[in-house]
Chains A and B, each alone.
Chain A
Amino acid sequence: MSFSFFNQQNKSLDTEYPEKVQEQIEEFKASYKADIRKEAAIAERLTNYSYVAAAYFLGKALIGITFNPNLVTVSVVLIAMIPATRDLDGFRINFQNGKPDIDNMHKPFSVLAKLGGAGFLVYGVLDNYNNLKSATERTYEVIETQRKEFEGDKSPITMPQSTGLIISFLILIAAYYFVPKRDR
């Protein structure tokens, strides 16, 4: 969170209030700042939710549009990982004398939880895809058996349209030769 509001330092040069008034003002300030902090935290959480919702929407839409599991997985993972990477802002890891020296890893558990959430989302989308695929295959089998019941041994013979076209061409050529020509 980078709300510069809390970094401001307001030093008033006015005469100081009496002690009791000062106490009440300090209390008011503290409660007001706590309010702002709470609302800002909610806003931050909603930002993360909107990324997850976008990933969910994209997954569902892509299964309908292209039936390509790789594309779906990559897109969903990329978007669902954004909340986790937002926590790692300024993250740096280094090895000093064989010991890891970590900077800006303020919320390791939050990062882990968000990564877990992204993984769960991908798992759900892929599960959905697999269900659809197996259902389609079962349908195909049912339709195939039904078709065989109806047709029996007589498999459909299709007459190629090109055959008719070639025959009509041949008739045209024969007519050119055999039909007697009118004298002028």
Chain B
Amino acid sequence: MKKFLHKHGTVIALTLAGFFHLISHLGTQFERYQICFAPSEKAVPGCEKDIDLVVLKQLYDLSLYGEGNGSEFKREWIDIIKKSTVVRNIPASNPDIPKYSFAVLCLIIYARYNQGLKVSTLQNNYSSELEAFSTKVYEDWVHGFNERKVIFKKQEFQAEKEIAEEINKLRHKGELIHLQEVLKRSNTINEAKFDLALEEISAKKSTFTKSKSENLRDAAKADKESQKVLGMKNSDMELESTTSTKLELEEQYRWIYQLLKLPFRVLSGEQGSGKSTLERLMIRLLKDAGYHIVIVNPETNPSVWGGVQVLTDAEEINTFFESFPNTIRGRKQQAVDMGIDEDDYLDCLKDKSGLEGKVAIFLMESNTYEVHGVDPDHWANFLKQSLTNIRKWGFTVCLTAHSDNQTAVSSKLTGFSKLIDTAPRVECISSTNKDGEAVSSGKAWLKMKGVNDKEPVEVSLYNYPKSKKF
């Protein structure tokens, strides 16, 4: 019974609810009362016609009729009327409708409860039913698998049996020797095929290596030709060659070592006169000497440089210039703390690297600094500081200028421009080619006493490659 209710209770309850709802609407909605104002047994005239009454207790009370006095409507009738009203409790509408609707409500609530039970039992049984099902399916599968296996084995045995019978027959006929010979021959043929295949493979290997080496040679040739055409050298190759060994200069270029020992020097010359080639050579030589190279150039692309620190941003340059005098002061203090002579300080820097060690500063395109937002005061202070003997503190500065006019370099360097004029300088000499373009003549004036040196020395410039990777 419980199981039956659990399974079908919802449907039954819902059907009953619908049934009750229909029943409640079967009759009229109002109770019909027949009230006769004169009892029929007394045959009062005027009461031949009975009337149907639909009465609501709240709005109209028949008991008020009892107060009549002297009319034909008699007192004792009230009892009859009252009886009918009081006993039957005058309903407004069908009194059973609320009862039926309550029954409907109860039945629907029961149906909901039963359905909830159903759902929860389904959920609770899920894992166990799943387990049972999967176990059964797996058992069936295993059983079937074994059966299939047995059938397959049987077929195998059958085939083996047949083969054995065939062989026995052949043995009886004496044809087995022939069969063995055939087998032997096939073996030898197989071996020969194998050897042939090995030979083919080795031949293919040798041709492959040959073509590979030829390709490499061709590529190298093409590279060389392209370098000739473009007038430049492979930067990667250059990088390897430069970083691995130190550059050794010939006798005619040795004058540059003299220049490198100075704390400050100026490179001047016109566009294309070979300034930048000389710069690169100096950078290379200084890097070989263990210097950390700082390049200050607001107009260059930092990604083309390698192995050097490049400052392009105006803020970076400002902070560098601003901190420079402090760095010098710090190094002096360091020498005092260590208790060594200032001339021996350079030996202490040998072990250090980066900005802590020896630093070479290249000021390129220096006449454009103020245009790019470099603070003129810091810039002028830096120049003043660098005109002192900063080499003993591990610094060296190289200024590149297009012209000899120092006010173009820094607007605030009044009074000190003469110092720059007296600084040693290299004036690169340019010449014009067939098209009228300025090209390097490969020669320069080395003026050790400044611009107005009356005994300049003519020196030849080393043709350093165009690579900017150091």
A61 at the interface (CB under 8 A from B): yes
Cβ of B90 to closest chain A Cβ, rounded Å: 11
Report chain A residues within 8 Å CB of B59: 67, 136, 140
Report chain A residues within 8 Å CB of B70: 154, 156-157
- Given A25-B133, A57-B101, A139-B55, A157 and B92 contact (CB-CB distance below 8 Å): no
A95 at the interface (CB under 8 A from B): no
Report chain B residues within 8 Å CB of A5: 123, 126
The interface bits of chain B over 56-70 (1 if a CB of A lies within 8 angstroms of the residue's CB, else 0) are 101110000101111
Report chain A residues within 8 Å CB of B65: 147
The interface bits of chain A over 122-147 (1 if a CB of B lies within 8 angstroms of the residue's CB, else 0) are 00000010011001101110110011
B122 at the interface (CB under 8 A from A): yes
B46 at the interface (CB under 8 A from A): yes
Main secondary structure of the interface of B (DSSP, over half): helix
Let me know if A132 and B92 touch, CB within 8 A: yes
Report chain A residues within 8 Å CB of B58: 67
Among B107-115, B146-154, B287-295, the one that faces the other chain is B107-115
Let me know if A63 and B134 touch, CB within 8 A: no
A residues contacting the other copy or chain, number (CB 8 A) = 52
Report chain A residues within 8 Å CB of B55: 136, 139
A112 at the interface (CB under 8 A from B): no
Report chain B residues within 8 Å CB of A138: 54
A158 at the interface (CB under 8 A from B): yes
Report chain A residues within 8 Å CB of B102: 57, 61
B71 at the interface (CB under 8 A from A): yes
- Given A24-B137, A143-B60, A128 and B46 contact (CB-CB distance below 8 Å): no
Report chain B residues within 8 Å CB of A136: 54-56, 59-60
How far apart are the CA atoms of A21 and B119 in the complex, in Å?
27
Q: In A150-170, which residues have CB < 8 Å from any B CB?
A: 150-152, 154, 156-159
How far apart are the CA atoms of A139 and B137 in the complex, in Å?
77
B residues contacting the other copy or chain, number (CB 8 A) = 52
Report chain B residues within 8 Å CB of A24: 137
Let me know if B108 and A53 touch, CB within 8 A: yes
- Given A67-B58, A150-B37, A157 and B93 contact (CB-CB distance below 8 Å): no
- Given A42-B115, A156-B68, A61 and B98 contact (CB-CB distance below 8 Å): yes
How far apart are the CA atoms of A7 and B169 in the complex, in Å?
71
A40 at the interface (CB under 8 A from B): yes
Closest to B125 in A: A32
Let me know if A18 and B141 touch, CB within 8 A: yes
The interface bits of chain B over 416-428 (1 if a CB of A lies within 8 angstroms of the residue's CB, else 0) are 0000000000000
Report chain B residues within 8 Å CB of A139: 53-56, 60
Cβ of B383 to closest chain A Cβ, rounded Å: 58
Let me know if A43 and B116 touch, CB within 8 A: yes
A86 at the interface (CB under 8 A from B): no
Main secondary structure of the interface of A (DSSP, over half): helix
The interface bits of chain A over 38-77 (1 if a CB of B lies within 8 angstroms of the residue's CB, else 0) are 0110110011011001101100110110010000000000
Closest to B35 in A: A143
Report chain A residues within 8 Å CB of B129: 32
A17 at the interface (CB under 8 A from B): yes
Let me know if B119 and A43 touch, CB within 8 A: yes
A28 at the interface (CB under 8 A from B): yes
Let me know if A64 and B98 touch, CB within 8 A: yes
Let me know if A46 and B95 touch, CB within 8 A: no
Let me know if A57 and B105 touch, CB within 8 A: yes
How far apart are the CA atoms of A32 and B119 in the complex, in Å?
11
- Given A36-B123, A156-B70, A135 and B30 contact (CB-CB distance below 8 Å): yes
Let me know if B126 and A32 touch, CB within 8 A: yes
- Residue with the greatest number of chain B CB neighbours at <10 A, chosen from A28, A64, A128: A64
Let me know if B122 and A29 touch, CB within 8 A: no
Let me know if A47 and B93 touch, CB within 8 A: no
- Among A28, A36, A143, point to the contact of B130 (Cβ < 8 A): A28
B29 at the interface (CB under 8 A from A): yes
Let me know if B51 and A50 touch, CB within 8 A: no
How far apart are the CA atoms of A58 and B187 in the complex, in Å?
101
Report chain B residues within 8 Å CB of A151: 68, 71-73
Let me know if A43 and B115 touch, CB within 8 A: yes
The interface bits of chain A over 1-37 (1 if a CB of B lies within 8 angstroms of the residue's CB, else 0) are 0010100001000000110110011001100100110
Cβ of B18 to closest chain A Cβ, rounded Å: 11
Cβ of A47 to closest chain B Cβ, rounded Å: 6
B104 at the interface (CB under 8 A from A): yes
B281 at the interface (CB under 8 A from A): no
A183 at the interface (CB under 8 A from B): no
A101 at the interface (CB under 8 A from B): no
How far apart are the CA atoms of A166 and B166 in the complex, in Å?
146
- Among A63, A156, A158, point to the contact of B93 (Cβ < 8 A): A63
CB-based closest 3 A-B pairs: A46-B112, A43-B115, A57-B101
**B residues neighboring A (CB under 8 Å):** 10, 14, 17, 29-30, 37, 46, 51, 53-56, 58-60, 65, 67-73, 91-93, 95, 97-98, 101-102, 104-105, 108-109, 111-112, 115-116, 118-119, 122-123, 126-127, 129-130, 133-134, 137-138, 141
Q: 14 A-B residue contacts at CB 8 Å?
A: A21-B134, A39-B122, A46-B14, A46-B112, A47-B112, A50-B112, A53-B104, A57-B104, A67-B92, A139-B55, A140-B60, A142-B51, A147-B73, A157-B70
**A residues neighboring B (CB under 8 Å):** 3, 5, 10, 17-18, 20-21, 24-25, 28-29, 32, 35-36, 39-40, 42-43, 46-47, 49-50, 53-54, 56-57, 60-61, 63-64, 67, 128, 131-132, 135-136, 138-140, 142-143, 146-147, 149-152, 154, 156-159
